[in-house]
């Protein structure tokens, strides 16, 4: 039986620093390898491999921060060992090359929060930027319980 992952919330608390002005962008959560219109679905006990898609809406961006929240006990984040030996939920992808600002898991009030932020490397007028649509990060969740 396939379940819809309803409790997975991608909160568009996305902060962007544009080269010329601060602008909004869109963020989308997709199952890896799926089309944009495909719903996210998984079997109980399976692993969801997900990607966070950022669309800069035509603006040059030099960084972003987002978080994903879900009820504790519904999913288990599968952590990776980062460059500094710390356990991290996200793997940065090709959209923007930069410096990791945050990549962590926190639990609070019965919810789990996965946070990720990246700032472009470089400085001054030489700072890298990204424009368009791309995969910002990937992460994996084990499905522990069916949402009610």
Return the pLDDT at 75: 94
Return the pLDDT at 11: 31
Question: Model confidence at 12, in pLDDT bands (50, 70, 90)?
Answer: very low
CA quadruple 11, 17, 19, 23: dihedral sign: positive
pLDDT in tens, 25-52: 888 899 988 877 788 888 899 999 999 9
Tell me the C-alpha to C-alpha distance, in Å, between residue 142 and each of 10, 49, 107, 137, 139. Answer: 17, 9, 16, 17, 10
Does residue 100 carry a pLDDT above 50?
A: yes
Does residue 14 carry a pLDDT above 90?
A: no
Return the pLDDT at 50: 95
Q: Which of 51, 54, 9, 50 is nearest to 27 (CA)?
A: 54
Q: End-to-end distance of the chain based on CA atoms, in angstroms?
A: 15
Q: b/e per residue, 77-97, with b = 16+ CB within 10 A?
A: bebeebeeeeebbbebbebbe
Average pLDDT, the chain: 79
């Amino acid at each position: 039986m396939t379940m819809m992952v309803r409790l997975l919330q991608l909160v568009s608390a996305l902060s962007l620093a544009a080269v010329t002005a601060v602008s909004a962008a869109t963020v989308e959560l997709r199952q890896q390898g799926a089309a944009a219109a495909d719903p996210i679905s998984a079997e109980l006990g399976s692993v969801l491999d997900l990607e966070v898609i950022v669309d800069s809406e035509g603006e040059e961006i030099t960084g972003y921060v987002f978080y994903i929240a879900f009820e504790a006990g519904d999913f288990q984040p599968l952590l990776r060992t980062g460059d500094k030996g710390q356990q991290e939920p996200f793997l940065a992808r090709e959209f923007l090359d930069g410096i990791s600002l945050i990549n962590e898991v926190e639990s609070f009030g019965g919810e789990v929060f996965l946070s990720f932020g990246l700032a472009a490397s470089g400085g001054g007028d030489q700072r890298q930027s990204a424009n368009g649509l791309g995969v910002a990060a990937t992460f994996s969740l084990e499905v522990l319980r069916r949402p009610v």
